[in-house]
Amino acid sequence: MRQQLYLYLCLRAKTPPKNPSFLFVQTVQNKPISHLLPLVEPLAIRAILFLLIAHLLALALLGFLLADKHRNLQLELAVSRAEVSLSPILAAMEGATLSGLEISEMLTIQRQLAIVPGVKSGIAVARMFSLNGTPGASPAGRIIFSTVGEHQGHPLDETVLAPLLKAGNRWMRNSLEAPTLGILVHDNSGQAVGGLMVELDATSLLAQAAKLEHEMIFNLLLLAVPSGMLLMIAFALTQRHGLRGGRLMLAVLLPTLIASAMLAWQSKEELAGSLQPAIKANSLAVAGGLVSKIEHALSLGIPREKLAGVPQYFDDVLNRHPDLARISLTLGNMTSEQFHAGRHPALANFSEVAIHHDGMQIGMLSVAPDQDFVDRALWAIAADIGVVLLVVVLTFRELLTSLVTSPPGAPMANTTGAGAQSVRLPLFLFILSEELTRAFLPLFFRDIAGAGGMALNTAVSLPISVYMIFFALTTPYAGGWADRFGPHRVFALGTLLAGSGFLWMAMTGNYWAVLGARALCASGYAMGTMACQRQIIATTTGDNRARGLALFVGAVSIAAICGASIGGVLAERLGYRMVLVCSAGLAGVGYLAFILNHRAGLAIKAPAVSFSFGELLPVLRNRRFMQLMYGAAIPAKISLAGFLFYLTPLGLQGAGYSPAAIGRAVMLYYILLTMSNPLASCLSDRYRRHLALVLGGMLLIGLGGMAGLFASVLSPDAAIWLGIVALGLGTGLSAAPMQALAVEVAPEGSATSVLVALRTLERLGSVIGPLLAGLLLGWLSTTGVMAAIGGLTLLSTGFLLTFGRSTSVRDRLLRSST
């Protein structure tokens, strides 16, 4: 028993898959390929069905990304055009405010505003509002003038005023249905006194978007049918020729990759065509604005040949408008032409506006759009597309390894780890549902806490800590329940709890409800993962069990890599709440996959683990074990939960990162962890230098945290990236040797009790981490807290240095003599 569990422990820690597709190889060896044929075998049908669904989902996700980018570009261009039309009015309002006029007194400017709405500006409704508050109270907006005849003094809609005031200067509602732009005007003490709130004309925007989306769906269908057939043929061929491993992956992935590339290329053309009118309108608005500026200068008595600072002015305009490439001016004998480096002026389709003075045309100004604007904009989502493709690759790998080789109902004696295989997909999906939220959860908490008037940093960290507490509390019992009631029941309950937690979070605006929802998610997560673990133990024996448990680790890390990155992409496009709904959906799909793979008859009781909490006491009394906990296990988890889960999203968002970019940063941690873990296991096995590896890993984590000190030299985001790299490598290096060391130094407890003690104590670190970071954020900057956590880790590592070698040898001698 003890030996078995020790093996389980070592495997969890030290021997993750050396060959990524070993599971596949293993099972194929045991079950000849010919047995899988003909294709009518239900297993193969199920496999191809799952692959087709994944294939379609991947294409749909890509199409969604492209359509979303199109909507954003459209909105961006429309807002830019509106801003050009509004800029003289805003300048007049600023000037009038600085010379002491109230917004309500700006009658001339109101007349100017009245003629702004129209086809040229793309503005449907324009409102001028004033902000007045009695001192000390939050300002209230009053409409002073509106082009749709609302009464003066009517209060301004709070739903648009509040976000504008929060943004401070300029705010836009990122929605094609009701695109709105708000701009504030400030007085000389920096206080906002009023501003403009305009609604853009949504009908043409929506029509354009709908047209493009229809074309996109048509393209998708057109591509999906042949590429899906190609996929089926490729899969059948791989089965016939017995391809496996990398070749199988390649053959199955190829149709999806080709279809994705074709979709991207096709939509590039359509996007460019669809955005052309908006780009043209924008260049025309800019040209019109520039001409009125020049005419104003001429009206001041500036002779046209003495017009100064024209090139610099045009340069500024080009820098503000990424869709424009060239502005040229002919004024009498004078010509001026400004290009923007790296952009290519369109040969046709430029906007020309005549310049008049004293009733005579005296010149011409032309603005040429950048013909590569759409291409450049699409390159900006290349990283997102890359993430989608990476997730496709990893998901296909998961699907292949779990589906192709797990015939359900096969006799247990012969199938090595078939039962274990059967949980692979549900486990992957279930963990994915939690990891989807990784990149943005602290940002979501902050929004909720901020809306409820709780601006405290601890209000953001508390939900993370609550999660960790409930996870730690549920885990020890969940295993027992799985043995008593059967893994499928516990897994069902786990998905139910986690799914309802996500849904609750998606729907509530109440901070305390979010805490409750996190507690549900945590308990559900603990139950789901423990049920899968018990299922693996129940359906494997000896050597297979080791592999089965390595599978568990593999599913966790691949789901983490996929989840963090794709969750960020989705959050950016759909919003936080929609991703939470997706998570709930994924948990449900995970449950479906579980019952599909898991026939009730397969539920075999796991070998009962005779374990009681009393066994923990001698381990906890072991000073050297506790030294390892204080010196390494707990600080490592403080860094993970405090720095990566809490500080990283907040800090990177502060540096202007989008949720998708934050997701990629978090993904890097999991990639490095997954890569360095086998290396550490190998080193640990060969040289038995557990302590050195633990010390090295911890040193790396600590030094990575100290990078926060150089935030001013490096830039804060660079410091955070360094911290993530160090944390990933450091944790990868130290995690496995730490477990081995723990078992070595605590011979008085069984391997199980040592493991339970280790897990429980390190979860203490996960609880402390976010709370500590939240507390410190009251005094320090994000990178300052990062450095503080790094410093704490280094101090603990110093404490661990006193961990003498001599005693460790004595322990080992003691152990070998018993």
Among 187, 269, 375, 543, binds another protein (CB under 8 A): 187
| Residue 731: HSE in the Cβ half-sphere, 13 Å Cα cutoff | 26
Count the Cβ atoms, other than its own, within 10 Å of residue 295: 15
Among 54, 128, 184, 297, binds another protein (CB under 8 A): 297
Nearer to another protein, 307 or 469 (CB): 307
Nearer to another protein, 204 or 366 (CB): 366
Q: Which stretch binds another protein (CB under 8 A): 114-122, 299-307, 466-474, 612-620?
A: 299-307
Give the nearest distance from C-beta 140 to another protein in angstroms: 13
Nearest-10 Cα torsion for 375, 379, 384, 388: 70
Report yes or no: 329 and 305 within 8 Å, Cβ to Cβ: no
Among 42, 100, 359, 656, binds another protein (CB under 8 A): 100
333 binds another protein (CB under 8 A): no
Q: Which stretch binds another protein (CB under 8 A): 5-13, 143-151, 172-180, 188-196?
A: 188-196
Q: How far is CA 562 from the centre of its chain?
A: 10
- Binding pattern to another protein, positions 147-186, x when CB under 8 A? ---------------------------------------x
Residue labelled with tokens 């993530």: 724
Exposure string for 114-140, b = 16+ CB within 10 A, e = fewer: eebbeeebbbbebbbbbbeeeeeeebe
Give the nearest distance from C-beta 132 to another protein in angstroms: 7
At residue 54, φ and ψ (nearest 5 deg) are -60, -40
At residue 608, φ and ψ (nearest 5 deg) are -60, 135
Give the nearest distance from C-beta 313 to another protein in angstroms: 4
Give the nearest distance from C-beta 139 to another protein in angstroms: 12
Q: Which stretch binds another protein (CB under 8 A): 269-277, 291-299, 481-489, 795-803?
A: 291-299
Report yes or no: 399 and 505 within 8 Å, Cβ to Cβ: no
Among 35, 170, 214, 296, binds another protein (CB under 8 A): 296
Nearer to another protein, 174 or 188 (CB): 188
Nearer to another protein, 47 or 103 (CB): 103
Report yes or no: 177 and 202 within 8 Å, Cβ to Cβ: yes
Among 29, 152, 174, 188, binds another protein (CB under 8 A): 188
189 binds another protein (CB under 8 A): yes
Nearer to another protein, 102 or 543 (CB): 102
Output the CA–CA distances (angstroms, integers) from residue 685 to 14, 546, 678, 733, 752, in the order listed.
8, 16, 10, 12, 20
Among 19, 29, 34, 299, binds another protein (CB under 8 A): 299
Q: What is the DSSP string of 612-632?
A: -GGGHHHHHH-HHHHHHIIII
Give the nearest distance from C-beta 108 to another protein in angstroms: 14
- Binding pattern to another protein, positions 300-319, x when CB under 8 A? xxxx--xxxxx-xx--x---
135 binds another protein (CB under 8 A): yes
- Selection from 651, 749, 705, 678 nearest residue 443 by Cα: 651
Report yes or no: 196 and 128 within 8 Å, Cβ to Cβ: yes
Region 749-788 residues binding another protein, contact defined as CB under 8 A: none
Give the nearest distance from C-beta 129 to another protein in angstroms: 17
Count the Cβ atoms, other than its own, within 10 Å of residue 322: 16
453 binds another protein (CB under 8 A): no
Sign, CA dihedral 378-382-388-392, equals: positive
Report yes or no: 328 and 366 within 8 Å, Cβ to Cβ: yes
Q: Which stretch binds another protein (CB under 8 A): 228-236, 288-296, 635-643, 725-733?
A: 288-296
Cis amide prior to 618 (ω within 30 degrees):
no
Nearer to another protein, 94 or 811 (CB): 94
Distance CA 768, CA 774 (A): 10
Structure tokens, 268 = 């590039």
Q: Which stretch binds another protein (CB under 8 A): 290-298, 319-327, 595-603, 613-621?
A: 290-298
- Selection from 391, 608, 581 nearest residue 504 by Cα: 581
816 binds another protein (CB under 8 A): no
Report yes or no: 555 and 567 within 8 Å, Cβ to Cβ: no
102 binds another protein (CB under 8 A): yes
91 binds another protein (CB under 8 A): yes
Output the CA–CA distances (angstroms, integers) from residue 666 to 53, 252, 649, 728, in the order listed.
27, 28, 8, 10
Q: Which residues bind another protein (CB under 8 A)?
A: 91, 94-95, 98-100, 102, 132, 134-136, 186-191, 293-294, 296-297, 299-303, 306-310, 312-313, 316
